[in-house]
Structure 1
Amino acid sequence: MISQSQFPTPTLISVNGVELEVFEAGRENAGRPIVLCHGWPEHAFSWRHQVPALVAAGYHVIVPNQRGYGNSSRPGAVTDYDIEHLTGDLVGLLDHYRYQDATFVGHDWGSMVVWGLALLHPGRVKRLINLSVPYQERWEKPWVEMMETILGGDFYFVHFNRQPGVADAVLDQNTSRFLRNLYRKNQPPMALEPGMMMINLARQETPSGEPVMSDSELAVFVSAFEASGFTGSINWYRNLDRNWHLLADANPIIQQPALMIYGDQDPVAKSENLSDFVPNVEVVNLDCGHWIQQEKPQETNQTILNWLERQEVKASLL
C-alpha cells in the first residue's frame, strides 16, 4: 500500500492553453525522461507503484493528470478533448522540460493518447509502452458509428456520445460506489445485462471480485472525482469520431520500439494484427485483469524495466 503522502508533490504547469497537475520524480536523472499517462477513470496516482522503480532505474519520471482530471484544467467545450488537444498537452510537457522526445507509457485511454501521439508527433516519441488497449486501426467508418452498429446504443462508448450528460450525472451522484465497484480484480465472468454498464456499476449495491487497492488508496481517486466530476474525462469518449477524422492523413504505421502489455483476464480485446501497424512491438501477457499496473505492480515494473534495458543496449550498439 502506498499513501498519497509518499507520491510526489504536484505542480501546476501551463501547456497548450491549459494547466496540468504534474507529479514529477527523479529530476536528478534529467536527460532520461519517461512520461506516464493514465486512463479512465483514473488519476496520476494509478502509477504510484511504478514511479519509485523507474526513478531507481535512472529515469526522470513525469506523471500528469491529463486535462479533465484532478486539479488539471477542465475546459468546457467537448472538442477541447480531442486527440490533437490531448497529444498537444504531452508535446507541451516535453517543451516545458526542454526535451525533444521521451519514452511514453499509457494505460487504457492513456494508451490511446500515446498511440495517437506517435501518429501525430512521431518525432517526439522515442519509444512507447502501452498497457491494456492496443493500437486501434482506423476503420472504414467512424468508431462510434461502427460500435453502435455492432454493439448497440447501450454500449458505454456509444451511450456517452448519444446521451450526453446522462451517465455523467449518475456517476457524479454515486462517485464512491462507482469507483469501488469498478476497481476490482479476480471477478467471475459476468453475463451481459441490459442497460449501460457504467451506470449499472454506479448503482450496484454489492461489488464482485476483490478490491484492486486499499480503502486509503481508493480514497485518492474518489476525492479527485468528487471535486472534478466526470464530464471532462468522459468528453474524451465524445471525440472518438472527431479523432477518426483528425487521424485521416496520419501515417498509420508506428515505427518506434514498442511494448504492449496485456492482462489475460482483461475484457478489452487483444489485437490480432498489432505488428502490421507497430512492426517493432514486443508483446507480454500478465495474469491479471484490466488494472494491470495496480493489480500486478512488481510484474509490471519488471516487464517495463527489462524491456527498457534491452532497448538501451540496442541503442548503444547502433
Structure 2
Amino acid sequence: MTTQPSTTPIPTDFPEPTLVALDDVELEVYEAGPRDADRAVVLCHGWPEHAYSWRHQVPALAAAGYHVIVPNQRGYGRSSCPADVAAYDVAHLTGDLVGLLDHYGHEDATFVGHDWGAFVVWSLAQLHPERVNAVVNLSLPYQERGGRPWVDALEEALGEDFYLVHLNRRPGVADAVLDADPERFLRNLFRTGQPPAPPQPGMALIDLARTQDPPGEPLLSDDELAVLVSAFTATGFTPSLSWYRNLDRNWHLLADADPVVRQPALMVYGTRDTVVRSERLTDFVPHVDVVDLDCGHWIQQELPEQATEVILTWLARHGG
C-alpha cells in the first residue's frame, strides 16, 4: 500500500482533508456539514478527477443540512495507490465506500457519482443495497451486464483501438504517454463548448495527450487545473487507469448480484456528452427520474449552479 505525498493546496474554501484508515487502504476525505445530520451524502468522482470536482456542490449540500463526505477514491490524490491491479476492482471500490459509512457511523447514505464514480455507485446499490438509500448519477447510466465480458464485447463492436479495449490489451502504453505531460493532457481533456464530432480512428486518449490544438474552451482556471496536475504528477496515471483494467473482473464479480437497482434514483445527462444514453434504463432502475442539462461530460463543473439545484431539489423530494 502506498500513500502519496501532499499535492497542490486546494485554492478555495474547500474543506481540509483527513486520511481515513480502512481495512487495507487510507482514503483522503473531505468533509462538510453536521456529522449528526439525519442524512449523509457521499460524492464519488470520476476519471481523471479528484474530490475537488465537487467543489461547487459541497457548500450547498452542507448548507442544506447534509453530512457531506467526499473521498479521493483509491488511486487518486493522497489516497492509497495499491500496486496490484486487482485491488481496484468493484468489490474493493464499493467496499471502501461501505468502510466510510462505518467510519462515520452511518447505516446508509445517498451516493452521488459522476463518470467512473457513477459506475461504482450503481454497483454499490447492487452489491450493498442496504447501505444505499438513494442514487444520483451524472453522465454514466446503469451499464447492462450482458452475456459476454465487457472488454470482449467492446473489442468486437468497436475494435482494438477503442480506448477501453486498448487500456486492457496494452497495459502501460497509454500510462506512459499521459505521465509524460500531465498538464497538457488534462488541459486538453477538460474542455467545454466542444462541437460534436464523429469518432476518429486510433487511441483517443493518446491522441488527446499529444494534440496542440484541442477543440472547445478550457473548463478549468489555472488554479483549478493545478490541483489535478499536481495530484496526477504525484501518483502517475497507472493507479486510476487500473479501474479500467478491471472491467472484465467486474463483469464476473457482478454475476450473482441483483441486476435491478431498486432505490430511488436520479440520472443526469449532458446533452452534448459523448457517453451513450441508456435506452433501457427503467428496466434496471425502475424508480429513476431523468434530467437533461445542456452541457458536455463534466456536468457538475460545466453547469455548477444548475447541477447543484437539480440535485438538491431531487433530494428534497426523496427523504432529504
TM-score of the aligned structures, taking structure 1 as reference length: 0.96
What CA distance in whole angstroms lies between the structure 1 residues aligned with 2:76 and 2:35? 27
Structure 1 residue 192, shift from structure 2 partner: 2.7
Match in the other structure for 1:122: 129
Aligned to 2:103: 96
For 1:21 and 1:31, the matched residues in 2 are separated by 23
Question: What code does the residue aligned with 1:301 have?
Answer: T
SS at match of 1:213: coil
Separation in 2, partners of 1:192, 1:210: 20
Structure having the higher helix fraction is: 1
**Given the alignment of the two structures, is residue 6 of structure 1 paired with residue 13 of structure 2, yes or no?**
yes
- Superposition deviation, residue 73 in structure 1: 0.3
Contact 1:29 1:58 in 2 (8 A): no
Aligned residues: 312
Query: Secondary structure of 1:21's match?
Result: strand
2:4 is matched with none
3-state DSSP class of the match of 1:13?
Answer: strand
- Counterpart check, 1:145 vs 2:152: yes
Q: Following superposition of structure 1 onto structure 2, how do residues 10-89 of structure 1 map, counting pairs within 5 Å?
A: 10-27=17-34, 30-89=37-96
Superposition map of 1:1-318 within 5 A:
4-27=11-34, 30-312=37-319
* Alpha carbons 1:29, 1:59 under 8 Å: kept: no
Amino acid at match of 1:69: Y
Report the Cα distance in structure 1 between the residues aligned to 2:292 and 2:59, rounded to whole angstroms. Answer: 23
Check whether the contact 1:180–1:207 (CA below 8 A) recurs between aligned residues: no
Other structure's SS at 2:318 match: helix
Q: Is the 8 A contact 1:16 1:88 kept in 2?
A: no
- The DSSP-based 3-state class of the residue aligned with 1:253 is coil
Q: Cα offset for 1:32?
A: 1.7
- Which one-letter code corresponds to 2:252 in the other structure? H
- Give the stretch that moved more between structures: 72-81 or 4-13: 4-13
SS at match of 1:11: strand
Letter matched to residue 47 of structure 2: W
Amino acid at match of 1:84: A
Q: How far apart are residue 28 of structure 1 and its match?
A: 5.0
For 2:88 and 2:110, locate their aligned partners in 1 and report how far apart those are by CA, in whole Å.
Answer: 22
Determine the C-alpha separation between the residues in 1 that align with 2:86 and 2:235.
18
Aligned equivalents of 1:50 and 1:253: distance in 2?
Answer: 28
The CA distance in 1 between the partners of 2:250 and 2:273, in whole Å, is: 25
SS state at 2:277 partner = coil
After superposing on structure 2, the runs of 4+ consecutive aligned residues of structure 1 that deviate more than 2 Å are 27-31, 189-194
* Whole-Å separation in 1 of the counterparts to 2:23 and 2:261: 24
Matches of 2:101 and 2:276, distance apart in 1? 31
Residues 166-202 of structure 1: per-residue CA shift (max 9 Å, x gap):
0001000010000000000111222432320000000
> 1:4·1:217 contact (CA, 8 Å) conserved in 2?
yes
Cα distance in structure 1, aligned partners of 2:36 and 2:209: 42
- Residue aligned with 1:139, SS: coil
Q: CA deviation at 1:212?
A: 1.3
Per-residue displacement from partner, 1:50-74 (whole Å, max 9, x unpaired)? 0001011111100000000000000
Question: What residue in structure 2 maps to residue 316 of structure 1?
Answer: none
Q: What is the identity, as a one-letter code, of the residue corresponding to 1:241? A: D
Which secondary structure does the structure 2 equivalent of 1:52 belong to? helix
Cα deviations across residues 142-187 of structure 1 (Å, max 9, x unaligned)?
0011000001111110000000000001000010000000000111
Q: CA RMSD in A?
A: 1.2
- 3-state secondary structure, aligned to 1:235: helix
Verify the 8 A CA contact 2:196 2:272 in the aligned structure 1: no
For 1:300 and 1:194, locate their aligned partners in 2 and report how far apart those are by CA, in whole Å. Answer: 33
TM-score (ref. length: structure 2): 0.95
The CA deviation at 1:211 is 1.3
Aligned partner of residue 167 in structure 2, secondary structure: helix
Identity of matched residues, %: 66
Query: What residue identity is the alignment partner of 1:121?
Result: H
CA distance in 1, matches of 2:200, 2:266: 34
Deviations 1:208-259 (A, max 9, x none): 1011121111111111001110000000000000000000000101110000
